[in-house]
Each structure stands twice: as structure tokens, then as C-alpha cells.
Amino acid sequence: MAQENVVIRFDGVSFSYNDTKIILDDADFSVRRNSIITIIGQNGAGKSTIFKLLLGRLKPQSGQINLEPGTTIGIAEQMVPADKLELDIVSYFKTALPDKEFGIEGDIKKILDTVNLNIQLTKKVKELSGGQKARLLLAYSLISNPDVLLLDEPTNNLDKVGISHLTNFLMNYQKTCIVISHDANFLNKFTDGVLNLDIHTHKIEQFVGNYFDVIEEIAAKLERDRLLNSRLKKSIRDRFEKVNKLGGKSIAMSRLARRIRVDIAEDREEMVEMRREDRTIPAFDIPCQEYVGDIIKIKKPIVTELVKGSRLLIKGPNGIGKSTLLKSIIERDSAEINPKIRVGYYSQDFSELDFQQTAYNSLYAISLTQKPQDIYEAAARFLLPGELLKNKIESLSDGQKGLLCYARFMLQHPGLLILDEPTNHINFRHIPVIADAIDKFEGPVILVSHHREFVRKIKEIRELDLDREF
């Protein structure tokens, strides 16, 4: 890769949050100017940490992060910071351009048009839907015209039209862009290369090509490494048997045994540190609360009662009020929920979680048994190891927060599930497993999701289209 075309270079970068939570170990990679690169890796592997290092919010313990002189970086984060939710649209953008005194409203209108977002500038950020916030975050990152654009799960909360617009935008983008996303079909349409993070080795592998080709290349490399290690293990095992037969019989045989031991040590050095493929969560059930009588009656915008086995999908474009309706149901403004019913809630922003709690205490607080063994077993099923449970929820990756929510459902035994974009932040490998668990859940489910493949796996689902019926 020609040096003059490189805009970002990681040179032997190591980073850890503490002695036990190593994220990067001697990482090397480079990004060419005007390329679009995807970062992939297991939940908690450090994808968002890469962004924080690029932005200077974190500093590496060793190694160098080199940017082309004068390079500016903008980021479209997953969620609007809490301290900006009360701002109106103009005030929000002024935080990105604090030195601009005149003409900012014209710039805002132009950039909102770029991301296909039509909203009043007097509106408060908190009043926007999840999909509108996703577009707003992209606009915010673009208004300063950065040389490098960082996108963290940009398709979260976007409807089909929004994803199509974002895809076309990236296919025609003329600058450097680095994307974190679990949406494989989305990534494959514009990716020039892939950075693959491994949570076990803390290394980064760099690949050139579109997303699906790279995934096949990774699988092929894994198989080659497996075969090489298998051959070396067999060779080591055979020579150990030979050493055992030779040892101590004569001086010559003892020398030969020493040479074989040296060969064995060299073969061990040749063994490849295998990248362990992403683990998929195993099949699981969400136990349903046992109850008799009414569960939930929705009063508006329709009047209907949901019983065991009911599935209601709330549809409509971004901004029409789907999440607002779910919150209204949760708060009992639009529905009557039997007070004895335990409600399992998955929100777009994890507002149901206390970020200052440890992951263990979050599970303990909702567990029916509150037995440590049950808590650790539920967490492990969702790839949340015991050491991680000691950490505050705020330190978890968003993918880990999502899996924590499903572990909570297992321990809670809810009588009703209310799910607002329940595939947000979830690795695509886990989505079919989660869809199957929701499909088998015996209680009623109220759902908002733009993930069509996920919704198709849930049978006998009734649709409420807010755009058509109201």
C-alpha cells in the first residue's frame, strides 16, 4: 500500500481498559484515502474502542496512531448523548460548529436534505423517532465536512427507505469512511475492505474486497490454519512417542532424543494462533409467567385485547410514532396491563437498564430465584462470562447490553414482551436464535422491527400499520 495514499495507520498499537481487559495487542493496519472500510468482530472485541482511539478519547498504552497531517474526523454515534436531547435542532448543530455565527440554518437545512430528513429546526432532539435520530446523527457528523467519517451501527432504527438512502449515500461517498455494522447485506454493497477484530487473540486482520468475499476468505484461512495445526500436532505426538522409546538407552540415542525435542519445540512455534470464529448463542427459551385472567387491553390508536400467543407488529415509516406508542403502552397511557403481569421490555436505547449497576446486579434484581448459579448460567448462555458481570453496564459494548437484556428475560419469566427494535446491536449470527425464542414465547408480544428476516421467523403475527390505518 503506497504510503502517500494512507490516511490512517495503526503501528503496533496496544490498548487495555485494565490488566484483565485487553482489547488490542500490537495491532497494525492502514486505511487508504477515499476507501470505505468495515470493522467486524465479536461483541466486546473493541470495534467502538477503535473509534475512540481515532478520536483521541482514548490513548494507546503502546504503539502509534498516525493520521495524515490536517486530517479531520467526524463520527455518527449510535445514540445522541443524553446532554444534547433537550436541545433544539439548531442548538444541537451549533455544538458541532461552535465558531460559526452566521448562515448555520442554511447549512443545517442542506445537510438534513443530504440525509433525507425533513424536520422543523425548532423541534427538540428528544422529540425525534429512533430512525430520525439515526439520520440526525449522520447529518451531525457530516456538517463539519470531515476527511474521515466514522459510522457506528448506522442502520439501527432505520426503515427500509432509510437504509436504501444511506446505502446509496455511501456508494457515492467521495471521502474515507469506516463503518461498524452487523448488517451483512448492507455492508456488502459498498465495502472496499474489512478489519477483522478477534476477541480472543486481540489481533486485527486486514482484508481487501467486498464483505461476503472477505467472510469466505476468513473461513478458508481458518480451515488452512486448522489443517496446519492438526498436522503439526500429529507430528509432535508421533515424535514424543519416539522420544519415549529412545530415552536413556545409550548416549547416541539420548542425543537423538534431545534433537527431536528441539524439533518438537520448533514445530510448536510454527503452530498458528487460531482465530476462534464468532460463537453463536445456543437455542434458549423465555419462560412465560403463569397467570389467569386479562393480560393487556390496548385502548388507542386501536381497541384490542392481546391474549396468550398474540403477536402484534407495529409498522410504519420513521417518525410516525411507533416507539412513542410502545412507551405509551408501557406507561399505561394507551393500554390497560394487568398489574400482576411482569413486562419484559427491550428499548432502542436500553433505557430499561441502569448503567451504573453491575451486569450481575442487573440480572440479580430481576431474577425470580436470585440464585447465583442461575444468574451465572443465564449470563454464560448469552456469552457474558463471570468476570464481565462484575463490570458496570456502562462499560459493556452495545452488543453485550443487548444480550444482557435477553438474559434478563430468561430470569424474569415475563408475562408480556414489548420489544422496540430487538435486533439492534445484535450480531447477525444470534438473530435467528433470538427470533425462534420469541416465536416460541407463550405470552403476548408487541413488536417494532425493521428487520424483515427477523419478523418473518415469528409466526401468526398481526400487523398494525400506523401509516395506513391512522
For the stretch 215-242, pLDDT in tens is: 777 777 767 777 776 777 777 677 667 6
pLDDT attached to residue 364: 97
pLDDT in tens, 182-197: 787 888 888 899 898 8
The answer to whether the Cα torsion of 94, 99, 102, 106 is positive or negative is: negative
Out of 211-220, 267-276, 383-392, 448-457, least confident range: 267-276
**Residue 293 pLDDT greater than 90, yes or no:** no
Distant-in-sequence, close-in-space partners of 256: CB < 8 Å, separation ≥ 6 = 246
Query: Cell 439515526 sits at which residue?
Result: 134
Better-predicted residue by pLDDT, 270 or 422: 422
Q: Give the pLDDT of residue 158.
A: 86
Cβ(312)–Cβ(464) under 8 Å? yes
**Distance, CA of 392 to CA of 158 (rounded, Å):** 29
Would the pTM count as exceeding 0.85?
Answer: no
Q: Report the DSSP beta bridge partners of residue 206.
A: 195
Strands 21-32 and 36-41: unpaired
Supply the pLDDT for residue 18.
73
Give pLDDT, residue 240: 67
- Find the length of the chain: 470
Cβ atoms of residues 188 and 194 within 8 Å: no
pLDDT at 247: 55
pLDDT of residue 157: 84
Residue 278: predicted pLDDT:
57
- Per-residue confidence (pLDDT) for residue 248, from 0 to 100: 55
Q: What is the pLDDT of residue 298?
A: 94
Residue that has been written with the C-alpha cell 436504501 in this structure: 164
Confidence of residue 428 (pLDDT cuts 50, 70, 90): confident
Residue 353 pLDDT > 70:
yes
Q: Alpha carbon of 313 to those of 161, 239, 320, 337: distances in Å?
A: 18, 63, 14, 18
How would residue 276 be classed by pLDDT, with cut points 50, 70 and 90? Answer: very low
Whether the pLDDT of residue 1 is over 60: the answer is: no
Q: pLDDT, tens digit, for every residue of 447-467?
A: 999 888 899 999 999 999 988
**CA atoms lying within 13 Å on the CB side of residue 344:** 30
pLDDT at 286: 98
Note the pLDDT of residue 274. 46
Q: Which residue has the higher pLDDT, 44 or 71?
A: 71
Instruction: For residues 308 and 443, give the distance between their C-alpha atoms in angstroms, rounded to a whole number.
Output: 5
Q: Quickly state the pLDDT bin for 245 (edges 50, 70, 90).
A: low
| pLDDT top residue among 393 and 319 | 393
Query: Is the pLDDT score of 308 beyond 50?
Result: yes
Helix%, strand%, coil% for the chain, nearest 5: 40, 20, 40
By the 8 A CB rule, do 450 and 421 touch? yes
- DSSP string spanning 184-213? HHHHHTT-SEEEEE-TTT--EEEEES-HHH
pLDDT greater at residue 225 or residue 161: 161
Q: In the beta sheet, which residues pair with residue 14?
A: 62
Name the percent of the chain lying above pLDDT 90.
Answer: 59
| Tens-place pLDDT, residues 81-133 | 889 999 999 999 999 988 887 889 999 999 999 999 999 999 999 999 888 99
Give the pLDDT of residue 284.
97
| Percentage of the chain lying above the pLDDT 70 cut | 89
Give me Rg for the CA atoms of the chain.
26
Cβ(2)–Cβ(30) below 8 Å:
no
Give the pairing of strands 36-41 and 193-197.
parallel
Mean pLDDT, the chain, integer: 87
Give the mean model confidence (pLDDT) for residues 144-155: 93
Q: Is the pLDDT of residue 374 over 90?
A: yes
